[in-house]
Chain A
Amino acid sequence: MTTLARTYLGARAAAGPLVYLAGTQRARLGEWVTLRTAGQPTLRGQVIDAGRDVTVVQVLEDTLGLGPAAVEVTLTGELASVVVGKELLGRALSGAGDPRDGLPPPIGEALRPLWGAPINPVRRVPPSDFIETGVSAIDGMNTLVRGQKLPVFSGPGLPALELAATIVESARAPRGEPFAVVFVAIGITERETRTFLERFERSGALERSVLYVNQAQDPTIERLLAPRAGLACAEHLAFVHGLHVLVVMADITHYCDALREVGAAREEVPGRRGYPGYMYTDLASLFERAGVVRGKPGSVTQLPVLTMPDDDITHPIPDLTGYITEGQVVLSRDLFRRGVSPPIDVLPSLSRLMNAGIGKDRTVPEHRKWADQLYSVYARGREARQMVAIVGESGLSAADRRALELAEGFEKGLVHQAGLRRTLAQTLEAGWRLLDELPREDLLKLSDAQLEPRKAQREAAARRRAEAKPP
């Protein structure tokens, strides 16, 4: 597939991140391009439209000071690829894979194409290995499994990266298997990057990690590359070295904005809110690079973080993401204000692979029903909370009042952890304690057999209720 490098002097036009070439020979879609101007740093780019008349190159770095007349453009004949290998563990790289830690460029073991090929669906193994994150709202209610892609839907100012760091810290190696973390920073601020890395350094996970960092001040187009470089590396570590790789990508919103910027520069017909019509396909080409492959020991699990503009879950970015990923963990401003940490709202949150990861031989047999029961009473309690604002607590039915009480207890006693890790057993116990307070008729999702082990606790709770009732 390789062609020799060809060099041309001068381009026909330059606009924003795009350079238009005329009269190129045998240009290849996706071909890697270098652009040199005397006295300026060398720029890199990629062919995104190959044509006999005009070929369009998307430039990675800032095009400030680029003059189309004087630029020397080389089509390298190679497709865009990145260096991957185990020696990258512990390194910090740019979104394009250049060192950012002052060390020499990595030599690596192989070059992997940035635009990875899709995993053949028949070679996939359905993910089913439970990951204990130590976060009750996830472990109990929205279980994460290996090979899943579970994004965190956050709002401006909500502690999404802290939650991601918590998960990364505790999710490593539940059975001592080899693990690694790939952290891709996409257009986030210095402060956000620092928050994450400091947490990370303390837990000692940094030497098991590869960092691809594109911060807010770095070139926009590089944001389109950073997650692909990270995923190429993750796939290599997982499927060549058999590591369980957790990929954290923050913030997908900046990625989408970069995509929109390029679309606009190419004068494409915009879709919803100006984002390109192919954004679904493009995001899928990132998120689908998670999974477990038949006969290979490793796995790629993704934890993308995105910010919902104005907390709007119907915005195209969370919306399209939700259609591709296997669920979502949604952070709530209301819970955050009331001091619940992590402020996970379990009602709109969902883990589509939960059922595969829980139950007999995985967690506990009654896990599903336990979660369904809590969900349904909590949802009722939340409805009741809205009703209280209108009719007052005395206007509620007895069952609504019980649900309301459970909702309070659920947020303070189960979702709220204040930085403390809970094992799954502790999470389940916390949930049972809430359910013990409810009479049998409120617990229709649970069978008698499932309630049997709670008999003593339930009876004690019933006695307390009877005593509390005024005669």
Chain B
Amino acid sequence: MTGPKLRRVVGALAEASGMRDAVLNELVRVGDAGLLGEVLRLTGDVATLQVFEETSGLALEEPVLRSKQPLSVQLGPGLLGAVIDGIGRPLQALAAAGGDFIAPGVDASTLDPTTRWDFSPVVTVGQQVRAGDVLGTVLEKGLVHRILVPLGKEGTIERVASGAVRTDEPVAWLLDGPTLHLWQRWPVRRTRPARARLASTEPLLTGQRIFDVLFPIAEGGTVAVPGGFGTGKTVIEQSLAKYAQADVVVYVGCGERGNEMAEVLHEFGALVDPRSGRPVLERTVLVVNTSNMPVAARESSVYLGLTIAEYFRDQGYRAAVMADSLSRWAEALREIGSRLQEMPGEEGYPTYLASRAARLHERAGRVQCLGAPERTGSVTLFSAVSPPGGDFSEPVTQACLRVGGAVWALDPALAHQRQFPAVDWNASYSLYAEGAEAWFAERVDRRWGETRSRLLELLQRDGELREIAAVVGPEALEDHDRLLLAAAALVRELVLGQSAFDPNDAYSSPQKSFRLARAAIDFHDAGRAALKGGSSFAELDVGRVRQALAAARDAAAADAEAAFLKLDEALRALGRTP
């Protein structure tokens, strides 16, 4: 009766003796129940373990089993539409085995071993293959899932399967070598390699006007979305997951609400992706660790999500990761660090918070993939941050701001006015704006860049004027200032304001976004001309323009043209005094 045994259990941590040969980050099975855990620290023959499942009930002297492998995830067909927990177990299978509540110690492989896939090989017998080469494809929910030669494998194809192949059956045999499967394993904490990293210049369309027009995100870029509670972070992440132009979306609900995840499942299943005509859920992989699920699995869930996204990137797809939220990930680090009695840094967070956050963000990017045929793919990372008390100076927000290529700062004051998305245009920015402008100018309208600068200028001036108006009252302002306030109000409320729940406006094409934005600028210009021509502000029919702009925004696709014509009329009428 030797072998590793538990010598201490506290919170999500356990210590085991008899672990002399273990290595850091090795996966272990803890206790009689066989809970999943990972080696965090080794001192002599004692290993400190973080346990990914509920530890209450673990007793001293229970055995610990070593796996001699790091925490890894199974990657292959069957991921799309799947709902898995922070350590890669499919929640449906857990429910089938353990009922409505998650019981510790239940095990299930990420991909169902018995599913059959229709495999079409692209390699032939005798062909040399190397890591990253496409062996063949299976069609998974409308996506051509490319089966890749895993890293570390190469050789000559001796035999290759065709037609129906079970997940647990080999798909190709190498000469004097190993067999290859439809799936491969990858350690979640390790970045998947690529041939070369490429620059991120093209915008990834989000369908949200304030982002596409003012603060665009590039394919392969990173955005931090900081915002206090109730500022609409989750709604934004969900809108992005639904409408962003990605081929595959990995939604990581990290420390999220259970009901919210149920809603995501329900909604994504019902919502149809306009490009493929299939439910949005079918291009989505959901990684779920609700706030009451074990804290160690919360820390791993983000890496798991990134690994899955990288796997689709390596097939040549645009993958997007929605991490909601990185604050919970950081808190998990803090909780584990504090149990390990590490010397705390700022606000109790471990000193390695910033470096871990930076490394995590750097897993996003556009790459030239390994293997043949040549292809590029990308991982774009959207990370929500939940600063305590809405205070952006706290360590997690700051760590994310330092590495994010764009920041969409959410403002509770805007949320209280029900201005959604509640993005504070003064505090937000995008380092991708310049590259995106050129792209939009070429494809949508050459005035794109000018319109964007005019909008920003208008909002800037609006902020200043409203401060003055708060002191002297708006009636005391001069006419051209009141006109500017009216134009800025159009921009704020009707152009940037977009309802995620309005079927006609939840998604806005770049063309529509541009036309609405331009109308507000045109209103300002036409108004200025009218004032110059001797009209007074009171004589301008601002109400008509507002109504026409609102109607154009909310019109169904079929009525949009007519609504925009009416808007043009209202704008033209502005200059003419009756």
Interface residues, chain A, with chain B CB atoms under 8 Å away? 1, 3, 24-31, 48-53, 79, 115-127, 147-148, 239, 268-272, 277-278, 280-281, 284-285, 287-291, 293-294, 296, 314-316, 319-320, 322-324, 326-328, 347-348, 350, 352-353, 355-356, 368, 372, 375-376, 379-380, 386-387, 390-392, 394-397, 400, 439-441, 444, 447
Contact = CB atoms under 8 A, between A and B. Distances in A.
Contact of A118 (B59, B290, B341): B290
A269 B60 contact: no
30 contacts: A24-B60, A28-B60, A29-B56, A50-B60, A52-B7, A52-B60, A115-B56, A116-B101, A120-B101, A121-B91, A122-B95, A122-B265, A124-B261, A126-B263, A126-B265, A148-B259, A271-B334, A281-B291, A288-B258, A288-B290, A288-B292, A291-B258, A296-B100, A314-B389, A315-B389, A352-B230, A353-B259, A368-B501, A390-B471, A444-B550
Contacts of A48: 10
B5 to A, nearest CB: 9
Interface of B: 7-11, 15, 32, 54-61, 83, 91-92, 94-95, 98-104, 228-230, 253, 255, 257-263, 265-266, 288, 290-293, 295, 328, 331, 334-335, 338, 341, 344, 347-348, 386, 388-391, 412, 416-418, 469-476, 493-494, 501, 542-543, 546-547, 550, 554
B258 A79 contact: no
B9 A118 contact: no
Nearest to B550: A444
A247 B481 CA distance: 54
A121 B10 contact: no
A322 B473 contact: no
A288 B230 contact: no
Given A272-B347, A284-B291, A314-B390, A127 B259 contact: yes
A118 B389 contact: no
Contacts of A125: 262
Given A27-B59, A79-B57, A326 B386 contact: no
A403 to B, nearest CB: 11
A319 B389 contact: yes
A27 B335 CA distance: 23
Interface centre among A120, A270, A379 (most CB of B within 10 A): A120
A396 B473 contact: yes
Nearest to B33: A1
Contacts of A126: 259, 262-263, 265-266
Contacts of B494: 444
A447 B502 CA distance: 12
A395 B473 contact: yes
A29 B57 contact: yes
A147 B262 CA distance: 12
Contact of B547 (A31, A148, A444): A444
A264 to B, nearest CB: 14
A288 B257 contact: yes
A124 B262 contact: yes
Given A280-B328, A441-B547, A376 B474 contact: no
Given A271-B347, A391-B472, A118 B418 contact: no
A334 B7 CA distance: 56
A287 B416 CA distance: 24
A356 B83 contact: no
Contacts of A355: 501
B262 A396 contact: no
Nearest to A3: B59
B475 A277 contact: no
A271 B330 CA distance: 13
B470 A390 contact: yes
Contacts of B554: 447
Given A120-B91, A120-B95, A124-B258, A270 B471 contact: no
Given A120-B95, A322-B230, A444 B257 contact: no
